[in-house]
Structure 1
């Protein structure tokens, strides 16, 4: 196997790692754009499947990047993608946390933290919208998506209930 796909995987995910304020899900629209539109590593449907599997599986949602790496270049791709999405952001978080602990009393630190909250929330909201666009856009899937969002926002129940109900509804309708 050529090293070219591994280098591309490392480049894409290491850059995205550094801007993943709010976690990897915050960069989901850009991950989707890079994986589907720019590099053609997966189709929209394959990307949506990887998203669903990674969020249904136990463990961190970052599993999605590992699945993409596996799809592109097997075990080596999985390892490169996982390390590329984790190492830069972990290193940056360590350096920033050390710096912020030294300057914790400075007013600019509080302002920076307050400014990052809406940025992270906006990125996460954009991720949800981007994933709705990649999913099957039939009336039933749109209704399930909107009902799930309403359930999570207005209910104090575990979101797994929505996951089970949506899955069951698709099985019955399919």
Structure 2
């Protein structure tokens, strides 16, 4: 059973507050809520929607709009996007004012250093989830690992590595 507009809005408001590092940081929780807990779409559909948003120009938050559109049409897309962007924007505005006020505080440095590994961990979790939705087997994990390694250690645009991985993935699978 598809969600109500209010349920969709509230679900993305909650995810918004947890999204330290953007929508990609909460991708595993988004998948868990949308696919596993509520069964609104399948894991394959989730992976496809994410792939579309990564191929399209624009921010990573487009996944939210596509999920909303899939579940409740254009109204769902708008409500989901507002739910994901609204609370975070208000929170960022308030924190930004405080951040500037305490620019020389040792707490600010401690918070920055503490949030960096959390954000990296959340994004790595998102990557692991996406690899799992692509299929099973050592070749998929090796291809994902090689792409991540090449993206990190090379000065090339990461889209080149993703394109190469996509071609290899189609050839191998």
2:143 is matched with 144
- Does the 8 Å contact 1:50/1:64 carry over to 2? yes
Matched, 1:79 2:83: no
| CA shift for structure 1 position 139 | 4.2
How far did 1:163 drift? 2.1
Give 1:173 shift: 4.1
Cα distance in structure 1, aligned partners of 2:163 and 2:116: 31
Please name the residue that 2:17 is paired with.
18
Alpha-carbon distance in structure 2 between the residues aligned to 1:110 and 1:171: 45
Question: Residue 163 of structure 1 corresponds to which residue in structure 2?
Answer: 162
Give the TM-score normalised by structure 2.
0.92
Residue in structure 1 matched with residue 63 of structure 2 by the alignment: 64
Shift in CA distance, 106/56, structure 1 to aligned 2, threshold 3 Å: same
Please identify runs of 4+ aligned residues in structure 1 that moved more than 6 A.
Answer: none
Q: Deviations over 1:109-163 (max 9, x none)?
A: 2211221111111111111112222221144433321221121122221111122
Aligned pairs, number = 172
- More displaced stretch, 20-29 vs 140-149: 140-149
Measured in 1, the distance between the counterparts of 2:117 and 2:138 equals 31
Alignment RMSD, CA only?
A: 1.7
Residues 44 and 135, structure 1, Cα contact 8 Å, conserved in 2: no
Greater CA drift, 6-15 or 154-163: 154-163
Aligned match of 2:98? 99
Structure 1's 139 and 113: CA in aligned 2 closer, same or farther, altered over 3 A?
A: closer
Query: Within 2, Cα distance between the matches of 1:56 and 1:87?
Result: 25
Gaps spanning 5+ residues in structure 2: where? none
Alignment partners' CA distance in 2, 1:102 and 1:57: 38
Q: 2:125 and 2:172 mapped to 1: Cα distance?
A: 29
Partner of 2:4, secondary structure, is helix
